[in-house]
Amino acid sequence: MLCARPDSSNVAFMTVVDDTYTGHVESQTAARRTLPGVSIIKMSVGPMDNNAYLLTCAKTGESLLIDAANDPALLVDLVAEQAPKLELIVTTHQHMDHWLALEAVAESTGAPTAAHPLDADALPVKPARLLAGGEVLEVGDLTFDVIHLRGHTPGSVALHCGPPASGPRCSCSPGTACSPAVRGGRQRRRSSIH
């Protein structure tokens, strides 16, 4: 569980990540799932309960952040304390509730950002890397297949972590929050990480 700041002051605090992973995290808390070769930290941020994912290669310590959605101070602290070798920040799609912390986290960590070209123009940070789908991202010994998803937005992406035969497997797709206005009133969709 992550201890959130008691107020808006700059009181220092340490992130605490719960290792009892159930798939659900309460607001402004984090939980870790450890699989062979990879650790996955899921944190709930912002008033819309968006999920941000920090995936770290167990061998090299290099990491990937998916959706710097909100609460930049929490995410910056999480990266600094849990996986400071941040290689890339991927934004799953253009909806605002998935990138409100992107500029601050990218600036603080110095990590490059990536997104699909069809959603890139709406983001506050121009992606250093465009993901059209079909690419393979390498983070340490981890590989992520980029999958272009149409429907939620024109340029949504999901990541599948491989290798498929023997290594760690997980996936992350957009739509862990998104307001009814931007979702067209559809039911809340949950991430496919469990």
Binding stretches for Zn ion (CB under 5 A): 95, 178
CB of residue 152 to Zn ion, shortest distance in Å: 5
DSSP code of residue 97: G
Give the residue among 63, 26, 162, 106 at the shortest CA–CA distance from 54: 63
Place of tokens 């602290």: 77
Between 95 and 116, CB nearer to Zn ion: 95
CB of residue 177 to Zn ion, shortest distance in Å: 7
What is residue 88's three-state secondary structure?
Answer: strand
Give the residue among 8, 7, 2, 97 at the shortest CA–CA distance from 54: 2
Between 114 and 178, CB nearer to Zn ion: 178
Helices (H), 16-140: 72-82, 102-109, 117-120
Between 19 and 121, CB nearer to Zn ion: 121
Between 33 and 152, CB nearer to Zn ion: 152
Distance CA 105, CA 87 (A): 12
CB of residue 185 to Zn ion, shortest distance in Å: 13
CB of residue 93 to Zn ion, shortest distance in Å: 5
CB of residue 194 to Zn ion, shortest distance in Å: 19
Distance CA 100, CA 94 (A): 10
Widest distance between CA atoms in the chain: 48
Between 55 and 178, CB nearer to Zn ion: 178
